[in-house]
């Protein structure tokens, strides 16, 4: 199957859209509905060296940033670069075809389980030696997100660091202190309720915020290695360590810390309750900015989830996007040169800034965004990261898990039966242990 045939599967070229290209290589995607291509030419003497990039960026300014970086690399390295920007949703289908039929040299994707499935099929190249050569692990706490059995198959770019958000002015008015330990949650709860404020805002109408709460509890109680084993289907949900997580979580529910009738609210409503001073805190990602008026941004504070077991390291949910070299890349050495260039702090900052998410590298400066600056500062204390629950495990298990956690928030006494149902989904996906 040619790249043209792959493209036709997801974005037939019937729009007559004008293509911004000088001359695309035969292996690149043609411009089509939901996909645009830009060939970045260099002097004729360098035309023998080529690089084909496929990205899935929906933000126009981020696409422009990538094209600028690619053009600068092409001029510096003497490489003809073709950048193919696909529609975000169409790319989810296309990548399953082009990685097999006609892979590019560079592509953008997700870390965690979504990456691991391609690694297991041998479709992403092992770049462990490049990671070691450049010393990237020292400045990228989330390198575990692109690691499978001790080997690296991509580089994290930027993502969502999940944690607790609150308003400093409201905390000052109500005499509240951000919780640093599990016991502090109960102190916060008593003071917040006395002031007529919901201690922890929760909106689980769409289930996934409950998955994030489970992630944080499990990471704080059992650590990253156990959490990853559970996400990989290597541990049963009926394991006592998982039961311990539900027991601790149940203590918070029984203490009335969460929004009543949380299943009636989406994340936007839960976040708005915090922004509007009707709730003290919530566990979310930096996209809380989407419901925060500009005049209130300077009052928003971010901190990592409190410690539960002091002996457990600082591990966080950081759901990162990533960049990869397909194993069938036609120009693998040029691809490695590009990765090294792209991953320099200044270039990575240029690429990330338009999308407004925390960078994977802790030495990237984006301090003009106060919320991102807080997230970057907190990342410096992180020892390792997982993805978000539904990015880290089999999709069917994730669905069963999030549904179960949603039910648990309403009926915590059903913990055993809920974990039993999730375990059945794990067995179907991964097999009996």
> Each residue of 414-431: pLDDT tens digit?
999 999 999 999 999 999
Confidence of residue 258 (pLDDT cuts 50, 70, 90): very high
Average pLDDT, the chain: 88
CA separation for the pair 203, 263 (Å, rounded): 6
pLDDT at 394: 93
pLDDT at 88: 82
Residue 277 pLDDT > 50: yes
Confidence of residue 22 (pLDDT cuts 50, 70, 90): very low
At how many degrees (to 10) do helices 88-101 and 3-10 cross? 150
CA separation for the pair 209, 408 (Å, rounded): 13
CA separation for the pair 385, 146 (Å, rounded): 10
The tens digit of pLDDT for each residue in 183-201 reads 999 999 999 999 999 999 9
Burial class (CB in 10 A: 0-12, 13-18, 19+), 220: buried
Percent of the chain with pLDDT over 90: 75
Q: What integer is the mean pLDDT of 342-346?
A: 97
- 317: helix, strand or coil: strand
Judge whether 342 and 77 are in contact, CB under 8 Å.
no
pLDDT at 10: 36
Burial class (CB in 10 A: 0-12, 13-18, 19+), 305: buried
C-alpha dist (Å) from residue 336 to 25, 141, 332: 19, 21, 6
C-alpha dist (Å) from residue 243 to 181, 213, 217, 231, 422: 20, 15, 11, 15, 12
Residue 40 pLDDT > 80: no
Residue 45 pLDDT > 80: no
The tens digit of pLDDT for each residue in 138-161 reads 999 999 889 999 999 999 999 988
Q: What integer is the mean pLDDT of 60-81?
A: 95
Confidence of residue 371 (pLDDT cuts 50, 70, 90): confident
pTM value?
0.80
DSSP 19: P
CA separation for the pair 271, 282 (Å, rounded): 7
Between 29 and 270, whose confidence is greater? Answer: 270
Q: What integer is the mean pLDDT of 32-60?
A: 66
Confidence of residue 114 (pLDDT cuts 50, 70, 90): confident
**Pairing verdict, β 198-201 and 279-284:** parallel
CA separation for the pair 86, 103 (Å, rounded): 14
Residue 2 pLDDT > 70: no
CA separation for the pair 338, 292 (Å, rounded): 37
Please name the residue ranges forming H helices in 102-181.
113-120, 128-134, 168-174
What the block records as the tokens of 227 is 């959490």
C-alpha dist (Å) from residue 365 to 213, 353, 357: 29, 10, 12
Burial class (CB in 10 A: 0-12, 13-18, 19+), 68: middle
Which residues, at least 6 apart from 378, have a Cβ–Cβ distance to it below 8 Å?
A: 161, 163, 302, 303, 304
Identify the helix (H) or strand (E) that includes residue 230. Answer: helix 208-231
Judge whether 429 and 230 are in contact, CB under 8 Å.
no
DSSP 362: T
Q: DSSP 3-state helix, strand, coil percentages of the chain (rounded to 5)?
A: 50, 15, 30
Between 54 and 17, whose confidence is greater? Answer: 54
């Amino acid at each position: 199957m040619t790249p043209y045939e792959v493209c036709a599967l997801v974005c037939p070229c019937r729009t007559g859209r004008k293509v911004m290209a000088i001359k695309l290589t035969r292996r690149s995607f043609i411009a089509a509905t939901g996909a645009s291509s830009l060939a970045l030419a260099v002097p004729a003497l360098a035309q023998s060296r080529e690089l084909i990039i496929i990205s899935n960026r929906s933000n126009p300014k981020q696409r422009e940033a990538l094209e600028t970086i690619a053009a600068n690399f092409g001029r510096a390295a003497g490489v003809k670069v073709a950048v193919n920007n696909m529609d975000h949703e169409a790319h989810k289908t296309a990548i399953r075809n082009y990685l097999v039929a006609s892979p590019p040299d560079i592509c953008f994707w997700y870390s965690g389980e979504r990456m691991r499935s391609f690694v297991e099929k041998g479709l992403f190249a092992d770049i462990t030696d490049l990671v070691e050569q450049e010393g990237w692990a020292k400045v990228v706490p989330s390198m575990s997100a692109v690691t499978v059995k001790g080997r690296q198959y991509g580089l994290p770019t930027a993502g969502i660091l999940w944690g607790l958000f609150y308003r400093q002015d409201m905390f000052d008015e109500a005499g509240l202190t951000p919780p640093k330990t599990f016991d502090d949650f109960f102190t916060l709860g008593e003071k917040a309720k006395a002031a007529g404020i919901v201690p922890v805002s929760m909106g689980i109408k769409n289930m996934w915020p409950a998955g994030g709460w489970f992630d944080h509890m499990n990471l704080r109680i059992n650590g990253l290695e156990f959490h990853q084993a559970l996400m990989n289907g290597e541990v049963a949900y009926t394991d006592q360590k998982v039961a311990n997580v539900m027991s601790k979580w149940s203590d918070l529910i029984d203490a009335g810390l969460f929004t009543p009738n949380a299943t009636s609210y989406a994340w936007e409503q839960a976040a708005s309750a915090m922004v509007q001073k009707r709730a003290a805190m919530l566990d979310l990602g930096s996209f809380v900015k989407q419901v925060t008026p500009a005049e209130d941004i300077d009052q928003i504070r971010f901190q990592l989830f409190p410690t539960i077991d002091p002996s457990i390291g600082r591990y966080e949910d950081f759901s990162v996007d990533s960049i990869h070299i397909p194993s069938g890349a036609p120009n693998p050495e040029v691809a490695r040169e590009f990765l090294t260039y792209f991953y320099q702090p200044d270039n990575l900052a240029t690429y990330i800034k338009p999308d407004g998410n925390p960078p994977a590298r802790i030495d990237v400066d984006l301090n003009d965004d106060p919320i991102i600056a807080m997230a970057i500062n907190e990342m410096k204390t992180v020892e390792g990261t997982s993805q978000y629950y539904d990015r880290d495990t089999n999709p069917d298990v994730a669905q069963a898990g999030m549904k179960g956690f949603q039910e648990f928030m309403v009926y915590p006494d059903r913990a055993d039966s809920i974990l039993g149902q999730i375990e059945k989904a794990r067995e179907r996906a991964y097999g009996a242990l």
